[in-house]
Amino acid sequence: MQYGPPASSYTMNDGRRMYVWAEEQRNIQMPDRSTSTVNVIGNVAYVNTTTTPGANIAMQCQVRLVVSKSGIIEQIGAQSDTMGAWQTSRCNEVFGG
């Protein structure tokens, strides 16, 4: 239960259960970025610096699980997957892939 309980569940016609699990969204603030250009005219250097604010990156993994009547997970599929903190898939980070 490190990432929380299922967000919702549904009983299918054949008696199996479908769960949608979604971790709480995490946000990472990226730092500001600055670029500078230098123009030299004679003995004088002119510097022009432009700063772009950092972006906020939202991370969240949502999966859909189909569970048999006896409680065995039969299917797992990503419902929504964003970029992770260290990998290109947040779900991959959560599920240890």
**Residues 8-38: pLDDT tens digits?**
999 999 999 999 999 888 898 888 999 999 9
Contacts (Cβ under 8 Å, ≥6 apart) of 51: 32, 33, 34
| C-alpha pair distances (Å), 80 with each of 24, 34, 55, 77, 92 | 13, 33, 21, 9, 12
| Global model pTM greater than 0.75 | no
The structure tokens 């991959």 sit at 92
**Cβ–Cβ contacts within 10 Å for residue 90, how many?**
24
Look at residue 64 in the predicted model and tell me its pLDDT: 94
